[in-house]
């Protein structure tokens, strides 16, 4: 089976083999970004639409840079300027986008399953850039890539994910990807933010941060959405920070060489103290850089499938060696 995939909708159900393919490729693509000429001609003629129905700056920029470093053309379509505000349905908008003949649509949407819906109705390859609280597969991949760069193999790695698990697509994609790769995932958060029956996904759940990070190789802090503050989910920022915030003292429970991750944007002083965020243990900025490499790998693989599926023939053995 070729390790290419038509769409990237989520890490749930993505095989170990496919994950390794993306992660290995990303390493070579990161090297492209480190060259003086940060561009290769690989996806010349491929059009990528960045269809962002929910606000996002960093993910959109990351995909845009990734596409451009592969020489693809990008079109940005964001909700604030779009006809979706005027009442057009998602599918109608997508059909209109298809008139631009894009090869890949990268979609961010607040509704879980929006990328899946699109994948059933349009010809283009669909890449999920975050659908509600469901999945954010490229974030999961870049997190796994960053862990792999620091810790070698993911097999047996102890990863603590702390925060609002219930509303976090980042947590969900990481849980699916990491458990497939054999890592041991512990999640921690206020009970109101732990989805029921989470253990079914093969993780252990804690309503305190300490047991989750004790002896961990990786501590991943999730962003607390301030708009949820003061709701019934948890009492106050101070209270959350005291119980679930990561500071230098709590971090001592983790392995001495543990790394600290955060998908951004950070609430300094809430889920993570500034001294931890800026310490040598923090790999938060590396995550951003690795995001470009992983997204290059994803765009490359979805394109590969795309063109392969055209049934175009080539002379076996011609061009490149035996």
Partner 1 sequence: MAEIRLVERRKLLDADGVEAKVFELAEQIAAHASKNPVGLVGIQTGGVHLARRILERLEAMGLEKPHQGVLDITLYRDDIFLGLQQPLVRRTDIPFEVSGTDVILVDDVLYTGRTVRAALDALVDFGRPRAIKLAVLVDRGLREYPIQADWKGMTVDTIASETVQVELTEMDAATDRVVVYERDD
Interaction mask 66-105, partner 1, x per CB under 8 A: ----x-----------------------------------
Q: How far is the CB of 109 from partner 1 (least distance, A)?
A: 28
Helix boundaries (H) for 181-236? 209-213
CA 23 to chain centroid: 12
CA distance 220 to 147: 10
CA-to-CA dists, residue 258 to 187, 205, 215, 236, 272, angstroms: 16, 20, 8, 29, 15
Q: Which is nearer to partner 1, 72 or 284 (CB)?
A: 72
Q: Does the annotation mark 167 as catalytic? A: no
Q: Is 321 in the site for partner 1 (CB under 8 A)?
A: yes
Q: Of residues 86, 120, 200, 249, which has the active-site annotation?
A: 86
Q: Which of 17, 31, 155, 199 binds partner 1 (CB under 8 A)?
A: 31
Residue 317's region, left for phi above 0, alpha for psi from -120 to 50, else beta, is left
**Which region, judged by CB under 8 A, interacts with partner 1, from 101-109, 132-140, 251-259, 309-317?**
309-317
Q: Is 3 in the site for partner 1 (CB under 8 A)?
A: yes
CA distance 146 to 309: 32
Interaction mask 220-259, partner 1, x per CB under 8 A: ----------------------------------------
CA distance 220 to 162: 6
User: Helix or strand or coil: residue 154?
Assistant: coil
- Count of residues in contact with partner 1, rule CB under 8 A: 34
Q: Does the annotation mark 27 as catalytic? A: no
Q: Of residues 7, 30, 108, 184, which has the active-site annotation?
A: 108
User: Helix or strand or coil: residue 267?
Assistant: coil
CA-to-CA dists, residue 47 to 56, 76, 98, angstroms: 20, 11, 11
Burial class from Cβ neighbours inside 10 Å (0-12, 13-18, 19+) for residue 101 reads exposed
Q: Does the annotation mark 136 as catalytic? A: yes
Q: Is 145 in the site for partner 1 (CB under 8 A)?
A: no
Q: Does the annotation mark 58 as catalytic? A: yes
Q: How far is the CB of 294 from partner 1 (least distance, A)?
A: 13
Q: Is 34 in the site for partner 1 (CB under 8 A)?
A: no
CA distance 25 to 22: 5
Q: Is 300 in the site for partner 1 (CB under 8 A)?
A: yes
Interaction mask 41-60, partner 1, x per CB under 8 A: xx------------------
Q: Which of 17, 28, 155, 239 binds partner 1 (CB under 8 A)?
A: 28
Q: Does the annotation mark 172 as catalytic? A: no
CA-to-CA dists, residue 125 to 2, 7, 101, 179, 230, angstroms: 16, 5, 11, 26, 41
Q: Is 65 in the site for partner 1 (CB under 8 A)?
A: no
State the catalytic residues.
Answer: 58-59, 86, 108, 136
Footprint on this chain of partner 1 (rule: CB under 8 A): 2-4, 25, 28-29, 31-32, 35-37, 39-42, 70, 300-301, 303-304, 306-308, 312-322
């Amino acid at each position: 089976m070729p390790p290419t995939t038509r769409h990237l909708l989520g890490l749930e159900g993505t095989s170990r083999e496919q994950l390794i393919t993306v992660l290995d490729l990303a390493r070579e693509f990161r090297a492209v970004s480190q060259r003086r000429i940060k561009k290769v001609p690989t996806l010349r003629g491929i059009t990528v639409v960045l269809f962002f129905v929910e606000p996002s700056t960093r993910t959109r920029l990351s995909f845009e840079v990734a596409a451009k470093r592969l020489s693809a053309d990008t079109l940005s379509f964001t909700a604030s300027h779009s006809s979706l505000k005027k009442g057009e349905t998602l599918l109608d908008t997508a059909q209109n986008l298809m008139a631009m003949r894009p090869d890949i649509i990268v979609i961010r949407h607040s509704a879980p399953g929006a990328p899946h819906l699109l994948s059933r109705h349009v010809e283009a390859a669909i890449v999920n850039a975050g659908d509600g609280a469901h999945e954010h597969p490229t974030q999961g991949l870049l997190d796994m890539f960053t862990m792999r760069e620091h810790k070698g193999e993911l097999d047996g790695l102890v990863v603590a994910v702390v925060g609002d698990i219930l509303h976090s697509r980042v947590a969900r994609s990481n849980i699916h990807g990491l458990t497939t790769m054999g890592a041991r995932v512990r999640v921690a958060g206020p009970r109101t933010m732990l989805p029921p029956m989470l253990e079914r996904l093969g993780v252990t759940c804690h309503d305190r941060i300490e047991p989750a990070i004790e002896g961990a190789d990786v501590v991943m802090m999730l962003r607390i959405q301030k708009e949820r503050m003061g709701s019934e989910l948890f009492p106050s920022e101070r209270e959350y920070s005291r119980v679930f915030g990561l500071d230098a003292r709590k971090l001592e429970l983790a392995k001495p060489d543990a790394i600290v991750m955060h998908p951004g944007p950070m609430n300094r002083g809430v889920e993570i103290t500034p001294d931890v965020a800026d310490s040598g243990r923090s790999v938060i900025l590396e995550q951003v850089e690795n995001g470009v490499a992983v997204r290059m790998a994803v765009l490359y693989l979805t394109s590969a499938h795309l063109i392969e599926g055209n049934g175009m023939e080539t002379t076996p053995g011609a061009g490149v060696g035996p």
